[in-house]
Amino acid sequence: MTGKGGVGKTTVAVALGQRAAAEGKRTIVCEVASQENASRIFDHAEVGFHEVEMEENLWSISIDPDESMREYVLLQLKVRAMRDLLFRSRIFGYLAAATPGLKELVTIGKIWELAQLDRKVKSGRKYDLVIVDAPATGHGIGFLQTPRTFAAIARVGPIHSQAQRLDSFITDREQTGVAIVALPEEMPVNESAALEHDLREEVGVAVDRIYMNGLYPERFSKAEAESLSGLAGGEDGAVRAAARAALSEHGRARSQRAQLARLRRRVEAPVKTLPFLFEPELGPEAARRLSRRLG
């Protein structure tokens, strides 16, 4: 799942996870860069670098690049003394931090590992679906391109072959798909269309679906709006405020429909709409209501 910042990526990712879990698929939602947005939706304690069950069949993990690096090294080096030497060494930390893109690479490596049916991590569960709450627009493209960039820099060695394997994993349309979350506003629509283009052309991944999130209901017809506009300048405070709120909602719902039509014209992937939820804070129940609309 990717999209511009603030469009509700995590909520949609969780809703998608709930949907899959309800269908009996064991699903995990991954946060990257040590974010904890998914666990926050469940009002759960931070999960960190652990696979934690949020609901039946629905798990969550927050991928910390340093932990991923550590795990990767553990899997690579079988000699215990060598591992200890590496982890004790401050130079190793410097080198790892100095190598551009290594953090992103080991993060994607961990996602790949989670998606394997033959888990590398001892006693790792098998997941049917791995949902990644990926970085926002600008960084999302770079993130997905990391393996290819890396395969080009490190021309030899295990990292080279593993980076290549990750790149084919990301670009394998049978295995990996991208969903973009958008909002029905001018700039998010522009960005989503540009993002879809770049994902297809530059990264070479399949964009399977675009979720237009936060769509207001069309509560009032044009004729009704006209009869309300008379009240909006009236005397009665409460009636006037209610009429104004209705007109404002009517206007926004209409401009949102125009943006939805514009998005549909500009993208190739099917666009699915999700309603705006009139709720103070979004929790698991709100996400579940969205999940029923995901289809």
Among residues 268 and 279, whose Cβ is nearest to another protein?
A: 279
Closest separation in Å from C-beta 54 to another protein: 18
Among residues 51 and 198, whose Cβ is nearest to another protein?
A: 198
Burial of 21 per CB tally in 10 Å (0-12, 13-18, 19+): buried
- Please tell me the distance from the alpha carbon of residue 130 to that of residue 119, in angstroms, as a whole number: 13
Sign of CA dihedral 247, 248, 254, 257: negative
Burial of 169 per CB tally in 10 Å (0-12, 13-18, 19+): middle
- CA–centroid distance for 286 within its chain: 17
Distances (CA, A) of 28 to 55, 177, 218, 294: 11, 15, 35, 17
Among residues 136 and 271, whose Cβ is nearest to another protein?
A: 136
Closest separation in Å from C-beta 207 to another protein: 17
Distances (CA, A) of 125 to 57, 117, 173: 11, 8, 24
Q: How many helices (H) and strands (E) does the chain have?
A: 12, 8
Closest separation in Å from C-beta 178 to another protein: 17
Among residues 22 and 154, whose Cβ is nearest to another protein?
A: 154
Closest separation in Å from C-beta 4 to another protein: 6
Closest separation in Å from C-beta 179 to another protein: 17
Among residues 256 and 291, whose Cβ is nearest to another protein?
A: 256
Closest separation in Å from C-beta 88 to another protein: 9
Among residues 1 and 21, whose Cβ is nearest to another protein?
A: 1
Under 8 Å between Cβ of 26 and 115: no
